[in-house]
Chains A and B, each alone.
Chain A
């Protein structure tokens, strides 16, 4: 390729992986990391590369599969979002001790803000906990460059390397010149060494000592050493930045007229921070400002609390995204310069996200409220978290927790002998990810609740990745119903939520079973409307006739964005730009004022 092309940060990481000879890539989708693996897949197809690329059932499994490839000498990578690294932390901690053979990169994308996550956690802290090096790119181009650095680092020191982009890197796009894919022609060659690969606790102590020795050598590894970006700038103060904060800082120093004045160091490898760098900045400057997301990882390694400003010192906020408008004020303050205050955003937040018009989940939540109006509704991670708008979601904790929390609520109320209806919701992909062990637990412990598996045959929120149930060529589909029955559940029925009256009847039956006997599972099966792979059916849009009483049940209880209450007429109208023609609202309207529109 000789032309610059527009690459998203995640696409740039994917490009970097294959340009550097990665042949095993795994992932579980999660914003902001999802596009890494889909891009690897696209290039694998386009360039006919011999690889193993998979959407794994969860991040732990994904990491273990990629790690085994590294143990066999291949270059491999696993990608996930930051909370996915929590799920994968168990094998990661151990793999750090055992080390690698082929280069092994763990991409963990953080989400300061947060924009689309439960937490703002900083994966670099997990790298510290695991005692592995972490690289912190500032842009798509640098993220691509760092994949090469990471593989070299991993192979030189035989250690997993964390590549930590943030949302503003993952979901930035930039013009990039791709280079040819590097084929290393390595074959899997696992060298048996049980003393290392299956080390007992006694030897783990020695592996820990070895890891510590590796870390001190990595803290002197020249290619990942901090870079001074404005050579020539001289001052008694300096700025140290990493990740996208370094990209913002370059523009801000230039616009404040401080580029030739205030030295700006970019840290590529926040942990372990290079020892000579720590010594150099602490001896050369009176005051140092550290700009990084989201925790003070670099700051805590600059061991002089009296002269280092950052998150720990209170100079930089410890929560939220480090936006350039915020950084401008902090940098101006640090340099003793006045800047005009920037225009502020309005107080109002704007339109909240909502389930798509025609989304089958909306019908499922409506039916759940009808079948168990006084129930407790634990839910989970996915599009259907938006069921909160309909009053169909009471709790969201983490992947798979809907099932264990449903059991937990049942047990908590059982103690006093005053059981409540509990109806939990979980998506099909989330069920496979972390919903199966808690279902086994619930059945074996005699818990009683209804679990509705919202089966839209895809991982919708993150861009429609396949689930293990997908009948893809060359793969063996794993049907959800069989898994549920295999967990010991005695009530497992499937229904179509878009057939609302029948679905409400099915749920009532399930609620009764849960009161009398035990766990009841209802599989709400209807395809995601956003999924490009679903069969397309043309359905007539709806209209509202004059009998609309303006009761607003359809806009508040059912909350379809295509139904709009018109303040002037006091009636509901249909937004024909977005109505999908699912027709569920016909059964929702108490005065039967919603009808199918006759096609002209």
Chain B
């Protein structure tokens, strides 16, 4: 069975919960068991927010440091904060406008999500742009671009304009890889 452990990290208000649940729902759609752990409460007011996501046969909702396959960081400084969750071959997808220091042997994929979001006049879509960036790298996530699009369509079926802008943001993240 596919097994993947991910950390999604950012600050309150960036939509960490949204993409964590989107990924989890995608796992379910692919017939995979999933567990996540979310941050709620005071931290959601602009503080550090972290989600753990485990796809496969797990019983604990938390990722142990040194075991994560990937880190999705919606703020560049969060890479430094949560890099210790990655194993030696873990990858990093980050919202950053400059190269990231001290990333060890990790493969690093960056995208200037803030600038893209402002240009699209969609300041709340940084989360999907960064998710799009890692989806552009074949085989890194347990699911592919089309799987995520299908999940978005299911999740936002009742909100057509939000669905359209979300799909645009995801696509912009994929294009941001080039």
User: Which chain A residues have a beta carbon within 8 Å of chain B's beta carbons?
Assistant: 4-6, 8, 31-32, 34, 115-116, 138-139, 168, 171-175, 244, 247-248, 250-251, 323-325, 328, 342-346, 348-356, 383, 385-386, 461-462, 561, 576-578
Tell me whether B118 and A32 are in contact (CB under 8 A): no
Tell me whether A172 and B61 are in contact (CB under 8 A): yes
Tell me whether A356 and B13 are in contact (CB under 8 A): yes
A248 CB contact (under 8 Å) in B44, B48, B62, B80: B62
A354 and B48 CA atoms in complex are apart in Å by 11
- Nearest 6 interchain pairs by C-beta: A116-B41, A353-B47, A31-B41, A172-B61, A343-B84, A350-B48
Tell me whether B84 and A4 are in contact (CB under 8 A): no
Given A115-B41, A172-B35, residue A578 in contact with residue B13 (CB < 8 A): yes
Tell me whether B35 and A174 are in contact (CB under 8 A): yes
Tell me whether B46 and A577 are in contact (CB under 8 A): no
Tell me whether A244 and B81 are in contact (CB under 8 A): no
Chain B residues with Cβ under 8 A from A323's Cβ?
A: 62
Tell me whether B42 and A175 are in contact (CB under 8 A): no
Tell me whether B78 and A6 are in contact (CB under 8 A): no
Tell me whether B78 and A385 are in contact (CB under 8 A): no
Tell me whether B42 and A386 are in contact (CB under 8 A): yes
B59 CB contact (under 8 Å) in A32, A250, A328, A345: A250
A356 and B42 CA atoms in complex are apart in Å by 11
- Is B39 part of the contact surface with A, judged by Cβ < 8 Å? yes
- Is B99 part of the contact surface with A, judged by Cβ < 8 Å? no
Tell me whether B40 and A32 are in contact (CB under 8 A): yes
A84 and B82 CA atoms in complex are apart in Å by 33
Given A172-B38, A174-B34, A577-B117, residue A351 in contact with residue B46 (CB < 8 A): yes
Given A173-B35, A577-B117, residue A461 in contact with residue B60 (CB < 8 A): no
- Is B18 part of the contact surface with A, judged by Cβ < 8 Å? no
Tell me whether A175 and B60 are in contact (CB under 8 A): no
Chain A residues with Cβ under 8 A from B61's Cβ?
A: 139, 168, 172-174, 244, 247
Given A6-B28, A461-B41, residue A168 in contact with residue B65 (CB < 8 A): no
Q: Apart from A175-B27, A343-B85, A356-B13, what 5 extra A-B contacts exist at CB < 8 Å?
A: A6-B28, A175-B28, A328-B64, A350-B81, A577-B114
A342 and B126 CA atoms in complex are apart in Å by 31
Tell me whether B59 and A247 are in contact (CB under 8 A): yes
A5 and B11 CA atoms in complex are apart in Å by 27
A323 and B50 CA atoms in complex are apart in Å by 15
How many residues belonging to B are interface residues under a CB distance threshold of 8 Å? 46
Q: How far is the CB of A113 from chain B (nearest CB, A)?
A: 10
Given A172-B38, A354-B46, residue A578 in contact with residue B123 (CB < 8 A): yes
Chain A residues with Cβ under 8 A from B40's Cβ?
A: 31-32, 34, 115-116, 171
Chain B residues with Cβ under 8 A from A247's Cβ?
A: 59-61
- Is B144 part of the contact surface with A, judged by Cβ < 8 Å? no
Chain A residues with Cβ under 8 A from B60's Cβ?
A: 244, 247-248, 250-251, 324
Chain A residues with Cβ under 8 A from B106's Cβ?
A: none
Tell me whether A168 and B13 are in contact (CB under 8 A): no
23 A-B contacts, Cβ less than 8 Å apart? Answer: A6-B24, A31-B41, A115-B40, A115-B43, A168-B61, A172-B38, A174-B61, A175-B24, A175-B28, A325-B64, A342-B64, A343-B84, A345-B81, A346-B80, A350-B47, A350-B78, A351-B46, A352-B47, A354-B45, A355-B46, A386-B42, A461-B45, A577-B126
Tell me whether A8 and B43 are in contact (CB under 8 A): no
Chain A residues with Cβ under 8 A from B62's Cβ?
A: 168, 248, 323-324
Chain A residues with Cβ under 8 A from B36's Cβ?
A: 172-174
- Is B37 part of the contact surface with A, judged by Cβ < 8 Å? yes
A171 CB contact (under 8 Å) in B37, B65, B117: B37
Chain B residues with Cβ under 8 A from A383's Cβ?
A: 45
Chain B residues with Cβ under 8 A from A32's Cβ?
A: 40-41
Tell me whether B81 and A348 are in contact (CB under 8 A): yes
A218 and B105 CA atoms in complex are apart in Å by 55
B37 CB contact (under 8 Å) in A6, A172, A325, A462: A172
Tell me whether A325 and B43 are in contact (CB under 8 A): no
Tell me whether A139 and B59 are in contact (CB under 8 A): yes
Q: How far is the CB of A489 from chain B (nearest CB, A)?
A: 30
Tell me whether B46 and A353 are in contact (CB under 8 A): yes
Tell me whether B66 and A343 are in contact (CB under 8 A): yes
**Nearest opposing residue in chain A for B38, CB measure:** A171
B65 CB contact (under 8 Å) in A6, A343, A385: A343
B55-84: which have CB < 8 Å to A? 58-62, 64-66, 75, 77-78, 80-82, 84
Chain A residues with Cβ under 8 A from B41's Cβ?
A: 31-32, 115-116, 461-462
Given A172-B38, A247-B60, residue A576 in contact with residue B46 (CB < 8 A): no
Per-residue CB contact flags for chain B residues 115-132 toward chain A (1 = under 8 Å, else 0) read 001100001001000000
**Nearest opposing residue in chain A for B52, CB measure:** A172
B77 CB contact (under 8 Å) in A173, A345, A350, A385: A350
Q: How far is the CB of A83 from chain B (nearest CB, A)?
A: 13
Q: How far is the CB of A74 from chain B (nearest CB, A)?
A: 30
Chain A residues with Cβ under 8 A from B64's Cβ?
A: 324-325, 328, 342
- Is B12 part of the contact surface with A, judged by Cβ < 8 Å? yes
Q: How far is the CB of A358 from chain B (nearest CB, A)?
A: 11
A355 and B13 CA atoms in complex are apart in Å by 11
A350 and B79 CA atoms in complex are apart in Å by 11
Tell me whether B45 and A386 are in contact (CB under 8 A): yes
A561 and B45 CA atoms in complex are apart in Å by 11
